[in-house]
Amino acid sequence: MTSPRLSLVLPGKDVAPWVGDALSSLVDQLPAGELEVVVVDDGSTDQTSEVVSSFADRLPRLVLHRNEEPSGLATARNTGLGLATAPLIGFLDGDDWLARGHLARLVAAVEELDVDFVRCDHVRVTAGRRQLVRAPMAVRGRRLDPRDAILPADDSSMVDYPYAWAGIFRRSMLEEGLLHFHDGLHTAEDRPWIWRLMLQARSYAVVSSPGVMYRRGLSGSLTQIVDRRQLDFLRAYRLCFALVDADHAGSSFEPKLVRQFLAVLASQLARQGLPRELHAAMVRESVAILGGRDPEVLWSTGLAMDEKRRQRLQPVLRRVVPAGRRGAAPVAVNA
């Protein structure tokens, strides 16, 4: 066989009902031998590994690694990165799948545009309903500077599109430490990942290839479960703030990060069935994260959000913004 051209890292835990769809969609994505599929079975208790093994004949460069105990999505992806050997690297979750020819289009784009990485649109699939989700960049098919895509602070930008599976990346980025995730994060693992990527990579492009079918609303997904793992988003944002604080232009990016964090925090505080102790922990940890930041930026950012989010954020904002630094509420906009 020829050397692999692209390594696709696919982590999953208890994904036996769906991983067959994911792997079936990878057959014939690239010419024979050019696709290496690295599956990390992260401590599954169902037949995930058996389903994966059954694809050995259809995916000749299939690598299966099994963790006896679950390590979490971030660590499982890192395990897969350590096993990947190709000059290009991509990701796919075990319950998603790809449209025909998607990987070939991304490989062609990253090579023709000569960029560090390529990002793409995707399709959100919820109970059979499909919705196109566009990467928040109007300029398509051109080499761009990732740092230029972080702002504006008051509108969606590429740091608000953190999905690791929505693109492919050159191996040089892995060697430079830009593709790894923070070990142990169960949720929001892609937030510090996307901030580091956009702050420190040299070039990228966005292409109109919505070939990832992203399955939402599964009962076992962490987006549907409320427990202490949800607090990992606070650890993730501590890492984000550390990245921005260390950047030479961090002060210009801080309002964007504050807005993003407050939007995520408001969403988390509104989760149905959130136990009182988790709510209190979110408020307490958020106050610790935001303490010492510009109070006027915090107050004006929070109040510029819609009414529901403003109300949810008040227990935090009133603890980190002194009464004398609270300005009048600006006209509310969607956050």
Predicted pLDDT of residue 258: 97
Where do the domains of the chain lie?
A: 6-220, 226-325
Predicted pLDDT of residue 70: 94
Predicted pLDDT of residue 330: 43
Predicted pLDDT of residue 273: 82
* Four-way CATH pick for 6-220: 3.40.50.10740, 3.10.450.750, 3.90.550.10, 3.20.10.10: 3.90.550.10
What are 102-148's pLDDT values in tens digits?
999 999 999 999 999 999 999 999 988 999 999 999 999 999 999 99
What are 249-262's pLDDT values in tens digits?
999 999 999 999 99
Question: Which residue numbers in the chain have pLDDT < 50?
Answer: 330-335
Strands 88-91 and 167-170: antiparallel
Predicted pLDDT of residue 51: 98
Predicted pLDDT of residue 334: 47
